[in-house]
Structure 1
Amino acid sequence: MESSRSPIVIGAGPAGLTAALRLVQNGVKPRLLEATGHVGGLARTPHSGDWCLDPGGHRFFTKYEEVRDLWNALLPPDQWLSVPRSSAMLVDGEYVKYPLVGRDIVTKLGVGRGLRGLSSYAGWRMLRSGSPSGQPANFEEWGTHEFGRYWYTIFFDGYVRKTWLADPAELASDWANQRIKPIDWTWRNKRKHPSEDVFRYPRRGPGQLWDAAAAALVDAGVTPTLNARVERLWTHDGTWYVELHDGEVIEGDAVFSSMPLQTLVEALPAAPRRVRVAASNLHHRGLITVAVALHDRHEIPFNWVYTPGGEFLCGRIQNYGRWSKNLHPAGWDGTFLGFEYFVRPDGELMAADDSSLSEIVEADIRALGLGDSRVDHVMMLRSQFAYPVYDPVRERSVARIRNYLRRHYPSLHPMGRNGMHRYDNQDHAMLSAMHSVARYFGGDVDPWQVNADRGYHEAGVLKK
């Protein structure tokens, strides 16, 4: 007997697709709406012939068995690769391993700068140990106390300014404990072997998994409705009404939303002024990824290279060849790089044409020392709402919106990175969707408690 339930899922990224799959597993067929013309959100993999672009370098690592089980159900074992974690910061032409390793810092930057950094590091650590405990007021304070002023300035200040588009003193620090590890001071022969820090990755990029999720939904009778931008939604007598940009109105008994939280509030009727002000205080960073295939082969032994220096406009460079050989045509033996530019969603660079972007990328290729290489192929992708900004008012604003929605709209379930305005990993977005569906069926779970551990790090031994 077919269920009489009729939930609506807004957004076909990792959270929305996961929610839809979970609902189907429970015998319920939702209506799945996606504002763009594709599924996968930021985790999609655009194609140009045999060239594939990964807009974020999506490592597949999780501590949650239910997430891992879903990954395994969607893709067979032969479609997964094991990718060793290998990242570096490019400082003054030297690749310094990241997360930072004390011995490597001294080796690459020289004894003189190493001693200066050690002195600063020791001084600030002593100062921190003598001060009252508590969460640092901002990222600059956190970084200075964690790494010392000298190393903070070299490795993090410029990078954070480029990638967060803000003064580090105006950014909250609560995301830093999860995203940035302390310096590793263990001796080389006592540290874990690189093979012990390995992640999974679909052969054809992260979008391969989410395309498989969409295909599984179609097989179950749930076809995502693309280019379906939500304009308004409201509820009356227990029924939800969702109006799309073309005027169509869809009815359902609940809404699962991964659309940006501030956009959700704007679409709801008669939200109090204090809630609307809180929503207006939420901001995003956009991301432009430019994939460049250089004809010559250059040895860059890292899958991510961070570029804190002012000689680069990009904030990070991906080395796609280190992720998967299937991201480029078979037999091609050049260097395939992804230059990542963090921009304001409505800024000039987001609106720049391809010619202007090409000039910027060419300058960064020269800064990388590869300006003489012939370019075989270029792909560009603009993602307007890629990352939530963690400014000082974010936590308070999100809490105000969350509490309002809980009281007045108990059958509305925000989920995912944008839906909850949190800097979640892919697995956290999925878990928030799973918990939201469990709550819909009466489970005593709180999706907002997902990824609440300040010490969570996305690293560890590969688990299949």
Structure 2
Amino acid sequence: MAQHVETLVIGGGPAGLTTAYTLAKAGRSVTVLEMDPTQVGGVSRTIDYKGVKFDIGGHRFFSRNPEILDLWREILPEGFLERPRVSRIYYRGRFYAFPLRAFQALTNLGPWMATKCLASFAWAKVKPIKEPESFRDWVRNHFGQTLFSTFFKSYAEKVWGMSCEELSADWARQRIKGLDLGAALMDGVRRSLGLKRKPPAAAKSKTLNERFHYPREGAGMVWEACAEKVTALGGDIRLGRRVDGLHYDKLARIWTVSVVCADGRKEIYTADNVVSSAPVRELMQSISPTPMSVFHAGELMYRDFLTVVLIGKPRKAPADTWIYVHDASVQVGRVRNLGAWSPDMIPDGVGTALGLEYFCFEGDSLWTLSDDDLVAKAKDEIARIGLMAAGEVQDACVVRQRKAYPVYDEAYAEHVRMIRLDLKLHYPGLHLVGRNGMHRYGDQDRAMMTGVLTAENIIADERLHDVWEVDENAAYDRPAPRVERGAPRRVAA
């Protein structure tokens, strides 16, 4: 027998849980279906391996949206630490500060290469590409072709598994727009002349912020607390549930959702509203009647993710929260020092734990390596970078994450546009939220904001907000409240 709920949320990550929490606070009926059989959090969950805690990628708690900051404090009133961001780039045996310090970078590259970089930067300013469409075009316009080839190309191709000509400029606009080489050069000149440093303008990109908040025991603390609050407010969180079909009854305006449980049982739900943070490609392929845009959904791509945690006692542990590995001679993309995020991530008796992050496609040669082979590879690469000798590694573990990143190829925007149009015309009551649900790369504050606004649309039973207008900084201009005007009244003389 089908179980009916007003709103069914697919996915227990930041977007799904924020949607459920907002609905539950308003006294609305909501059930969350999470595929993981043991924990909520999605890509923002925290893994515990013998007391060593680590996230699937690092999740900084920083936002320019005060509404989201207040929501984090509401969900987890105690437990946040303020942490410094210390990041570097590793390239050809040298470390560079990130964000790039122009003089340091040019000095490390040597006089000939530095001259080429400056000449290339000047040429890009004189002769920019008028309508940059690819990642390469955008970075070339802002930094010059030489710096693009040196610092940006190898890392972008590691992350996305495609050439920079195939990768949309949207990712560069979103993630590195706050880097200004010209301003960095002028700041370096001021320092060299002993002049007072010009106060920096507010960073345009969150990736450049120097401090952030972080839960004592990992990002998963927030989402476990959020799930508990949803339950306390009368909502329902169900783990180990994989949605395998959605049917929309146009006459009854009801969704029927079939679910496979972790133990093999089948469950059927009906709902007035379905909110999905699941990958939109798989969602669209599971809907009946078959959406007209199913072809577009099938063309969307995702990047998968491996984390290899090496535990040991190196002679000197790095102080970095993150090291971006731009060097093409190793496959690792980023190295995270878990203790730099929070001392509570590392139990007593453990010296250092480094998380090596690899980007791949499910089924490729890297993804299919055995855990033992991945650990051996990680030990070799961390020794070549110089952060930990292979003999200093005492233990290790491997975690695989499917569909960690929606890919911004040259055609993704058109595919998403057609899916949005199809859902708007033919599938009312189905709402897309979050990174994979909307196929929009972004941090958890953006995902949360899409959940808040979607819940408010459901509560009001109308489209108060355009969720797609939430930008990469989680900013959204709320419409001014409507003023109800009554009939004019006669005023006594």
Q: TM-score, normalised by structure 1?
A: 0.91
1:231 aligns with 2:244: yes
Partner of 1:375: 393
Q: CA deviation at 1:303?
A: 1.1
Three-state SS of the structure 2 residue aligned to 1:169 is: coil
Partner of 1:56: 57
Q: CA deviation at 1:157?
A: 0.8
Equivalent residues in 2 for 1:391-406, closer than 5 Å = 391-406=409-424
Partner of 1:80: 80
Equivalent residues in 2 for 1:21-420, closer than 5 Å = 21-37=21-37, 38-77=39-78, 79-128=79-128, 132=130, 134=131, 136-180=132-176, 181-183=179-181, 184-185=184-185, 186-187=187-188, 189-190=197-198, 197-236=210-249, 237-245=252-260, 246-273=265-292, 275-332=293-350, 334-369=351-386, 370-420=388-438
Deviations 1:420-453 (A, max 9, x none): 0010111000000111111112351011111168
Deviations 1:397-424 (A, max 9, x none): 0010011101111211010000000101
Equivalent residues in 2 for 1:419-430, closer than 5 Å = 419-430=437-448
CA distance in 2, matches of 1:175, 1:387: 11
Three-state SS of the structure 1 residue aligned to 2:417 is: helix
Q: Are the aligned partners of 2:65 and 2:475 in contact in 1 as well (CA < 8 Å)?
A: no
Q: CA deviation at 1:211?
A: 1.0
Q: TM-score, normalised by structure 2?
A: 0.86
1:450 aligns with 2:470: yes
Q: CA deviation at 1:109?
A: 2.6
- Matched residue type, 2:121: Y
Q: CA deviation at 1:156?
A: 0.9
Q: CA distance change for structure 1 residues 191 and 105 in 2, over 3 Å: closer, same or farther?
A: farther
Q: Are the aligned partners of 1:86 and 1:303 in contact in 2 as well (CA < 8 Å)?
A: yes
Q: Are the aligned partners of 2:445 and 2:473 in contact in 1 as well (CA < 8 Å)?
A: no
Q: Are the aligned partners of 1:290 and 1:338 in contact in 2 as well (CA < 8 Å)?
A: yes
Q: CA deviation at 1:364?
A: 0.9
| Backbone CA RMSD of aligned residues | 2.2
Q: CA deviation at 1:5?
A: 6.4
Q: Are the aligned partners of 2:346 and 2:352 in contact in 1 as well (CA < 8 Å)?
A: no
Which structure's CA Rg is the greater one?
A: 2
Q: Are the aligned partners of 2:64 and 2:474 in contact in 1 as well (CA < 8 Å)?
A: no
Q: CA deviation at 1:49?
A: 2.7
Partner of 1:462: none
Q: CA deviation at 1:192?
A: 5.1
- Matched residue type, 1:145: N
Q: Are the aligned partners of 2:216 and 2:345 in contact in 1 as well (CA < 8 Å)?
A: yes
Q: CA distance change for structure 1 residues 453 and 270 in 2, over 3 Å: closer, same or farther?
A: same
Q: Are the aligned partners of 1:42 and 1:55 in contact in 2 as well (CA < 8 Å)?
A: yes
Q: CA deviation at 1:47?
A: 0.2
CA distance in 1, matches of 2:359, 2:60: 19
Q: Which runs of 5+ in 2 are unaligned?
A: 192-196, 477-493
CA distance in 2, matches of 1:377, 1:434: 41
Q: CA distance change for structure 1 residues 270 and 251 in 2, over 3 Å: closer, same or farther?
A: closer
Deviations 1:173-220 (A, max 9, x none): 112122012333323543559997311111111111111111222222
Q: CA distance change for structure 1 residues 56 and 452 in 2, over 3 Å: closer, same or farther?
A: closer
4+ residue runs of structure 1 moved beyond 6 angstroms? 193-196, 452-456
